[in-house]
Amino acid sequence: MAMTNNKTHCFTCNKDKITYLCEGCLKNFCLMDLTKHRQILNEELYHIINDYNQFKQIFNEQKPSSYDLSLIDQINQWQRNSIEKIKQKAKDSIENVIKSSQALLNDIEIKFNDLNEQLKQIHSENEFNEINLNYLRNELTKIREEFYNPRKTSIEKDLQAFTNEISIIPLEKKSKFNNWNKNAITVAGGNGYGEKLNQLNCPVGIFIDKNKNILIADCSNYRIVEWKQNTTQVQIIAGGNGKGNRMNQLNYPTDVIVDQQNHSIIIADWQNRRVIRWLNQNQQILIDNIDCSHLTMDKHGLLYVSDYKNNEVRRWKIGEYNEGTIVAGGNGKGNQLNQLNFPAYIFVDEEQSIYVSDQNNNRVVKWRKDAKEGRIVAGGNGKGEKLNQLSSPQGLIVDDVDQIYVADSGNDRVMRWCEGKEEGEVVVGGNGYGNQSNQLNRPTGLSFDDEGNLYVGDNSNHRIQKFELIL
């Protein structure tokens, strides 16, 4: 409270007196009314403290709900089942080791008895020479060698999960199954392949900015173009000066993202083997000598790049472009859970888990932060068109309830997979390759806008398709 220099009206008694300003309500009170005002504030504080203490008592007495107890029972049952499986597997393995060892001893015993019979026969007949003695000596040496140096038995670890994994999913992440209009609207290109501003030539990566403008890696036109929302306005924002490696050129760009922190764009300049930043027509090489396929950025501003030749995904901190950190793959080409085979599109979620379109393994693999191997979350059942299969998966998005959307390029469709499910479902396309509004032809990039509409880079139709969310 601060005393004013002049007499003013008291807010309560409305008389001209020496008043004091309450800094909370910014009203003036005389000394008597100020005392009453403070008393009212003290009473309000008392009520807040009382409410707090009551709630604290209720909170301290809180016990797990029946629903929580049911979840705990399920976890305990999963633990018991998993332990029983492990015990049984260990028992069977021990029995196999004993059987293998006993079979070896039995085999040696048979050979030993056979040699004994030969020794008895030669000794009784008393007809032998150096050849017979050398033979017997060699046979005994072989038996002794087999006994003292038996065949080694080893343990082979199966990289596939032995027991079913479980996860705790918060209620707010319960899946919501959105649907989209099966007939798309062409929002960019669609005028045949070419290099005019109303044309595209094999669009690959796409990015929808906060204004719903569409940035497109117009791969075979060696440029990045921006199509303004709901207009025919198009502008080249990078490249467009022919194929090349000069500072104003690109060579088959495959992906583009917006770096919100400095309002620049970052491009995977595929055939120039570099990742570049483009700001106001000025180009800066961020990473060179990298066989970059696609890229993304997480909420912390860390940059992730898939390297299709080294079969790995690396992470970089903006401004510190050394060798980066391997966060997926990096163990050679293969189909084991710690390997990749031509990683294409990538997605990073809020927990910094990395999802990778493992193109030549026809699967999507999820690598948790700092994990040494991934987990198959889509496909992984060979190349095919069944609902549990993928064919050269490309574009990749994971929504806020952990549903995985993947451009199933070889099957001309976009699929949705829920982690842990055996198969996915077709959300758009899947009507054979073609250029009708319900068809796709080698879909690549995927993106959502802030209204949930789905955008698809329809690569071989040289267009971008918008599938509107059905509300």
CA distance 338 to 367: 9
The string over 32-68, giving b where at least 16 C-beta atoms fall within 10 Å of a residue's C-beta and e elsewhere, is ebbeebeeeeeeeeeeeeeeeeeeeeeeeeeeeeeee
Per DSSP, what are the bridge partners of residue 122? none
In the prediction, which pLDDT does 328 show? 97
Domain span holding position 351: 179-470
Q: How confident is the model at residue 416 (pLDDT cuts 50, 70, 90)?
A: very high
**Is pTM beyond 0.85 here?**
no
Task: List, edge to edge, every strand of the sheet that includes 27-30.
Answer: 2-3, 19-22, 27-30
* Residues 341, 198 share a domain: yes
Whether 46 has a pLDDT exceeding 90, the answer reads: no
Residue 328 lies in a domain: yes
**Based on the structure, what is the number of domains in the chain?**
2
- Kindly state the tokens that stand for 181: 């209009």
Q: How confident is the model at residue 312 (pLDDT cuts 50, 70, 90)?
A: very high
Whether 2 has a pLDDT exceeding 60, the answer reads: no
Cα–Cα distances (Å) from 301 to 215, 298, 347, in that order, read: 19, 5, 13
Residue 119 lies in a domain: no
Nearest to 447 by CA among 390, 377, 395: 395
Residue 358 lies in a domain: yes
Give the DSSP per-residue string, 313-359. EEEEETTEEEEEEEEEE-S-BSSSTT-BSSEEEEEE-TT--EEEEEG
Question: What's the CATH number where 466 sits?
Answer: 2.120.10.30
CA distance 26 to 157: 73
* Residues 443, 295 share a domain: yes
Whether 128 has a pLDDT exceeding 80, the answer reads: no
Residue 308 lies in a domain: yes
- Kindly state the tokens that stand for 438: 């319900």
State the chain's mean pLDDT as an integer. Answer: 87
Residue 78 lies in a domain: no
CA distance 337 to 329: 8
Residue pLDDT, tens place only, 235-261: 999 999 999 999 899 999 999 999 877
From 25, 41, 56, the end of a domain falls on 56
161-165, 345-349, 367-371 — which is least confidently predicted? 161-165
* Residues 184, 41 share a domain: no
Residue 84 lies in a domain: no
CA distance 295 to 291: 11
In the prediction, which pLDDT does 15 show? 87
- Kindly state the tokens that stand for 188: 């960019």
In this prediction, residues 350-357 reach a mean pLDDT of 95
The string over 404-421, giving b where at least 16 C-beta atoms fall within 10 Å of a residue's C-beta and e elsewhere, is bbbbbbbbbbbbbbbbeb
Whether 470 has a pLDDT exceeding 60, the answer reads: yes
Q: How confident is the model at residue 167 (pLDDT cuts 50, 70, 90)?
A: low
Residue 131 lies in a domain: no
Residue pLDDT, tens place only, 9-21: 888 888 888 888 8
Length of the chain: 471
Residue 446 lies in a domain: yes
Cα–Cα distances (Å) from 134 to 92, 137, 140, 149, in that order, read: 43, 5, 10, 22
